[in-house]
Amino acid sequence: MSRTGAMDRVRRCVDHAMILTSLLLLAWPALVEDVVRGAAGAGRLIAAAAVVGTAAAAVLLLARRRPLVQYVPVAAAVVLAGVRFGRDGQLSPGLTWLTLTVAAVVLVRQFLGARANEGLVRDLTRQRAQLVRQAFRDPLTELGNRKLFMDHARDALADADDTMTAVILFDLDGFKEVNDTYGHTVGDELLRTAADRLTANVRTNDTVSRLGGDEFVVLLPRLVDDQIADTVANRILRDLAQPLTVGEAVLSIRASAGIAITRGSDMLVDEVLREADLALYQAKGEGKGVARRFDPAQFAAVEARRREEADLRRALDDGEFEVHYQPIVDLAGEHTVGVEALVRWNHPERGLVPPIAFLDMAESLGLLPRLGGWVLEEACRQAAAWQEQQPGFELNVNLSASQLSNPALVDEVRGVLERTGLPPSLLVLELTESVALVDLVESARVLGALKTLGVRIALDDFGTGFSSLSHLGTLPVDVVKIDKSFVQAMQETTGASVAEAVLQIARTFNLAPVAEGVEDAGQASRLRELECAQAQGYHFARPMPAGQLTELLTRQATLSA
């Protein structure tokens, strides 16, 4: 039992004694003096004792809810003693002793109450200090936590005057691997050692805190030279890299650092910390183990990228994309025999955005499978409608790397064909050679499964990759699309030779060639001389919405009638 608890028990015992003594003092005139004179019988004595006991119990019960009730018997006893003294001019010896006893008990009670209050105050002070420590300290490293850093940083910025304040953010490189390999005990020891080395390299008025996990922050207030921050950061990185022995493991604590510096009190703590975080991101991107300062130009680029990513996600949810179609023509009569479906972003502020401006970003964000699936279904539905105007009209749709690696791709294509009613033989799925090269064996397997549905496969940008002939022997390809760079170089002797060689390869492998990027009549004429059957490019038509292509097909049907 604690000292405060024992004192509290003694105090309660004294309270009980005080109440009983006070009740005896109240009962004295009616009972005790008669007992002394022999006037009271045993029955009356027992009854009086019962009354006193019952009254004491009642007082104690009421005192639990109202503590001041316990003092009522004392006050009544003192008043009664005063009345007796005023009436008789004296008190009997027994009553005198009882009065003195009540006074003594009251004094003892007050003394014990004061001591108990002192103990309570000490306990509360100790608990308050412990709570404050828990609120502002990291229990593992004994460093300050995020709250302490934020408080100190706000004070430092408010008191900066014309000096500089630096925030250095540290992140341990490879800490997760240490935990996974050696266990959390070794990881905790590594964190404690890192905390000690950080603290050993700063001034007494600097603040070192652990923000969480393996991330630490150093606050350097009132700097007059910004180079001090770089010096401190690099010194800490060198010290952290010194070998550490934990049990049988010898570890090296490598870290990266991001530095943000501000002058005066113009910036908020969150802004400075964010700049340090961006600098840390740059340090990790440059190979880790280095310190980098915040770069405003990079910050602007990162912010622009984040806005574009958020805009792209919103556009996909809001249905801002649409499919345009570029005609593929038969060079013999230059009439449209098919189309290539190309996605466009109809941005509410930027207007029509070409795919080169957002497809790479969509791929990096993992949005292309969803976007590509929508394009496939939308284009197949439209192509099925065009069959009424021109039976046998073909549709080419591009596949991205993420779509090709999607295990559900074959089922998705099958489902689209069933829902739209487009004959599988009229769908040509295009992929570039670079996409197929990601995993040539797996690509061949997936493309083979797609061909079992009845669709055809086209290899886009043919001739620009490596080992194209071996790829043609491995991949189940039906169509090759001659890259526009070869088509546009046909005016030169070597360029014409390359285009002719590609066409010869296509014939050798019994593949249908399609020339891309035809921009003028001369190129179209030269392709006819080389016996290329189909082509596409701005010379024939630019990509257009479905409605305009429907009008084009209608005009062609009228002219051929």
The rounded percent of the chain whose pLDDT value lies above 90 is 50
Q: Which two tokens stand for residue 353?
A: 């955005």
Classified as helix, coil or strand, 255 is: strand
Would you state the pLDDT for residue 303? 80
Would you state the pLDDT for residue 28? 52
Determine the Cα–Cα distance for residues 416 and 377; give it in Å rounded to an integer.
6
The model's confidence at residue 36, banded by pLDDT at 50, 70 and 90, is: very low
Classified as helix, coil or strand, 129 is: helix
Determine the Cα–Cα distance for residues 539 and 529; give it in Å rounded to an integer.
17
State the DSSP H helix or E strand holding residue 240, giving kind and residue range, or none if neither: helix 227-240
Is the full-model pTM beyond 0.75? Answer: no
Answer for the pair 251, 190: CB distance below 8 angstroms, yes or no.
Answer: yes
Determine the Cα–Cα distance for residues 515 and 503; give it in Å rounded to an integer.
9
Mean pLDDT, residues 268-293 taken together = 91
Query: Long-range pairs for 205-209 at CB < 8 Å and ≥24 separation?
Result: 207/144, 207/148, 207/149, 207/152, 207/153, 207/156, 208/143, 208/144, 209/138, 209/143, 209/144, 209/145, 209/146, 209/148, 209/149
Q: Can you tell me which residue has the tokens 């003096």?
A: 33
Count the residues in the chain: 561
Determine the Cα–Cα distance for residues 272 and 164; give it in Å rounded to an integer.
12
Answer for the pair 428, 396: CB distance below 8 angstroms, yes or no.
Answer: yes
Determine the Cα–Cα distance for residues 417 and 424; give it in Å rounded to an integer.
7
Q: Which two tokens stand for residue 514?
A: 């399609």
Q: Can you tell me which residue has the tokens 């009086």?
A: 48
Q: Which amino acid is at 271?
A: E
The DSSP-derived string for 419-480 is HH---GGGEEEEEEHHHHGGGHHHHHHHHHHHHTTT-EEEEEEETSSSSHHHHHHHS--SEE
Determine the Cα–Cα distance for residues 252 and 254; give it in Å rounded to an integer.
6
When comparing pLDDT for 180 and 325, which is higher? 325
Give which of 311, 324, 177, 318 is closest to 253, Cα–Cα.
Answer: 177
Would you state the pLDDT for residue 348? 92
pLDDT, one tens digit per residue, over 231-262 is: 999 999 999 999 888 877 888 888 999 999 99
Would you state the pLDDT for residue 519? 92
Residue 524 has pLDDT above 80, yes or no: yes
Q: Can you tell me which residue has the tokens 């991330």?
A: 215
The model's confidence at residue 438, banded by pLDDT at 50, 70 and 90, is: confident
The model's confidence at residue 309, banded by pLDDT at 50, 70 and 90, is: very high
Mean pLDDT, residues 92-114 taken together = 56
Determine the Cα–Cα distance for residues 450 and 326; give it in Å rounded to an integer.
24
Question: What average pLDDT does the structure give for the chain?
Answer: 82
pLDDT, one tens digit per residue, over 183-239 is: 888 999 999 999 999 999 999 999 999 998 999 999 999 999 999 999 999 999 999
- Domains of the chain plus CATH, in order, are 3-133 (no CATH), 146-294 (3.30.70.270), 328-342+375-560 (3.20.20.450)
Give which of 318, 394, 323 is closest to 355, Cα–Cα.
Answer: 323
pLDDT, one tens digit per residue, over 418-430 is: 999 999 999 999 9
Residues in contact with 334: Cβ distance below 8 Å, sequence separation at least 6, in sequence order: 524, 540
Q: Can you tell me which residue has the tokens 């309660």?
A: 12
Give which of 163, 129, 164, 160 is closest to 262, Cα–Cα.
Answer: 164
Q: φ, ψ for residue 293 (rounded to 5)? A: -85, 155
